[in-house]
């Protein structure tokens, strides 16, 4: 769970956050059995980590503010201090932007990791290539945030790119930020696969769900599961070609299907697939309760014209536009290299305003 800024008096209330962190540390120190049960302590440790991140960010802003004040005082006399003041001001501005984003992440699961699935839509090979471009974009974004990404399943396109892929992204507020990316993404460009160099439009859908903890109660009846094993494909040496290590699990009442082939062991793949299933079923329950929000599953149903949340135009002009917030960028190369925060921040601000 992310740190709810409303619960702790606001994102800038260091005193309340510091007191809560001290209480948690006292609780850990006073309980000799705290570390013996990883599951029972996981929630507390997660809250502790988020509080530490929030306090560290605010302390950083305080230091930068002091440095800026000192540099401004010396700037009239020394050219080097004017340059330093400008540098510190830019750093402080970025720190405050990061704190602003953190203040928007107060959802129940915002602090969790994320499962991100990309599916190629209308457009054949073009869309499969577009899906692979989106995968690279999210991997770059995760890398820039210092998150870890794990590939769980991938299905290659017939000629190029990928038909579908699922990755798990682990890091602070991964779900809170990436949830803004759920929906249909549209690409307009001159096709590299068209010998006549014609302009093509491609679509791919992105679906993001939170990686929920094992202790969250999700009841799964084993009788409702169909479990299939098959030989893994892709890189992995001779092992993946000789054994049925890959696992596909179908939850028959809901129709949710998950699969994993990232591990060498069938047992490990099954465990990971069950975690993915639990996460998707939990997210499904949350979606059912959000009566004022459009169903994410409905958005996934039609991966074609008229349903996109964002358009990436590379020809005849360069523009990335989010149709939900109207945020634009005229540098699509930067966006496709992972520069997503302007779009994500605007979406979070809009969502928070809609809830008030």
Last residue of a domain, one of 71, 103, 135: 103
Among 40-54, 55-69, 121-135, name the one with the lowest average pLDDT: 40-54
SS3 content of the chain, % helix, strand, coil (to 5): 45, 20, 30
Q: Do 90 and 124 share a domain, yes or no? A: no
> Please, which pLDDT band fits residue 81 given cuts at 50, 70 and 90?
confident
Q: Give CA–CA dist 111/104, Å, rounded.
A: 11
Q: What is the DSSP letter of 223?
A: G
DSSP, collapsed to helix, strand or coil, labels residue 150 as: strand
Task: Determine the angle formed by the axes of helices 79-103 and 341-355, rounding to 10 degrees.
Answer: 50
Rg (CA), the chain: 23
- What pLDDT is attached to residue 124? 85
**Predicted TM-score (pTM) of this structure:** 0.68
Q: Do 84 and 163 share a domain, yes or no? A: no
CB-based contact 294:265 (threshold 8 Å)? no
- What pLDDT is attached to residue 36? 78
Q: Do 174 and 87 share a domain, yes or no? A: no
Q: Do 148 and 34 share a domain, yes or no? A: no
Name which residue leads in pLDDT, 131 or 171.
131
> DSSP letters of 116-128?
EEEEE-TTTHHHH
pLDDT tens readout for residues 139-159: 999 999 999 999 999 999 888
pLDDT tens readout for residues 247-265: 999 999 999 999 999 888 8
Q: Which two three-digit tokens encode residue 105?
A: 């992440």
Best CA proximity match to 276, nearest among 291, 262, 288, 287: 262
Reply yes or no: is the peptide bond before residue 316 cis, omega within 30 of 0: yes
Contacts of 44 (CB under 8 A, 6+ apart): 24, 27, 28
Best CA proximity match to 234, nearest among 152, 167, 133: 152
Q: Give CA–CA dist 184/74, Å, rounded.
A: 52
Torsion sign, CA atoms 281, 286, 287, 291: positive
CB-based contact 142:130 (threshold 8 Å)? no
Q: What is the DSSP letter of 11?
A: T
User: How many independent structural domains does the chain possess?
Assistant: 2
- What pLDDT is attached to residue 12? 57
Q: Give CA–CA dist 207/186, Å, rounded.
A: 14
Residue 216 within any structural domain of the chain: yes
Q: Which two three-digit tokens encode residue 325?
A: 């917030």
Alpha helices (H) along 162-321: 174-178, 239-242, 266-289, 296-301
What CATH number does the domain containing 160 carry?
Answer: 3.30.70.1660
Q: Do 29 and 162 share a domain, yes or no? A: no
Residue 8 within any structural domain of the chain: no
Best CA proximity match to 307, nearest among 209, 201, 208: 201
Average pLDDT of the chain is 83
What CATH number does the domain containing 86 carry?
Answer: 1.20.58
Q: Residue 118: is its pLDDT beyond 90? A: yes
Q: Do 322 and 232 share a domain, yes or no? A: yes
Among 107-116, 193-202, 291-300, 338-347, name the one with the lowest average pLDDT: 291-300
Q: What is the DSSP letter of 321?
A: E
Q: Do 167 and 88 share a domain, yes or no? A: no
Structural domain boundaries enclosing 249:
112-356
Alpha helices (H) along 204-340: 239-242, 266-289, 296-301, 332-336
Last residue of a domain, one of 65, 85, 103: 103
Last residue of a domain, one of 103, 134, 152: 103
pLDDT tens readout for residues 264-289: 889 999 999 998 998 888 878 777 65
Name which residue leads in pLDDT, 100 or 29.
29
> Please, which pLDDT band fits residue 197 given cuts at 50, 70 and 90?
confident
Question: Which residue bears the tokens 């602070």?
Answer: 172
Q: Do 97 and 205 share a domain, yes or no? A: no
Q: Give CA–CA dist 236/242, Å, rounded.
A: 11
């Amino acid at each position: 769970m992310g740190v709810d800024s409303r619960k702790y008096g606001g994102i800038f209330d260091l005193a309340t956050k510091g007191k809560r962190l001290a209480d948690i540390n006292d609780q850990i120190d006073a309980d000799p059995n705290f570390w013996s049960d990883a599951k029972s302590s996981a929630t507390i440790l997660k809250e502790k980590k988020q509080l530490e991140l929030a306090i560290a960010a605010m302390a950083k802003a305080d230091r930068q503010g002091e440095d800026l004040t000192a540099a401004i005082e010396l700037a009239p006399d020394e050219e080097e201090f004017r340059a330093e003041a400008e540098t510190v001001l830019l750093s402080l501005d970025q720190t405050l932007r990061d704190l602003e984003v953190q203040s928007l992440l107060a959802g129940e699961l915002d602090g969790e990791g994320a499962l991100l699935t990309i599916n190629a839509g209308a457009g054949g090979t073009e869309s499969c290539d577009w899906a692979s471009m989106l995968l690279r974009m999210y991997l770059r974004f995760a890398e820039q945030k210092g998150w870890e990404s794990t590939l769980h399943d991938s299905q290659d396109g017939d000629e190029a790119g990928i038909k579908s892929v699922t990755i798990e992204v682990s890091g602070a507020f991964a779900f809170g930020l990436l949830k803004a990316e759920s929906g249909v993404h549209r690409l307009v460009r001159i096709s590299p696969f068209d010998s006549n160099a014609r302009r093509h439009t491609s679509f791919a859908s992105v679906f993001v769900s939170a990686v929920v903890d094992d202790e969250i109660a999700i009841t799964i009846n084993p009788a409702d599961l169909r479990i299939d094993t098959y030989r893994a494909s892709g890189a992995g040496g001779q092992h993946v070609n000789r054994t049925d290590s890959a696992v596909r699990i179908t939850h028959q009442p809901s129709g949710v299907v998950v699969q994993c082939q990232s591990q060498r062991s069938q047992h490990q793949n099954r465990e990971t697939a069950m975690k993915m299933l639990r996460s998707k079923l939990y997210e499904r329950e949350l979606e059912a309760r959000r009566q004022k929000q459009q169903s994410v599953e409905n958005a996934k149903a039609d991966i074609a014209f008229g349903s996109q949340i964002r358009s990436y135009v590379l020809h005849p002009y360069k523009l990335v536009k989010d149709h939900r917030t109207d945020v634009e960028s005229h540098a699509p190369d930067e966006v496709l290299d992972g520069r997503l925060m302007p779009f994500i921040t605007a979406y979070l601000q809009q969502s928070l305003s809609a809830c008030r």
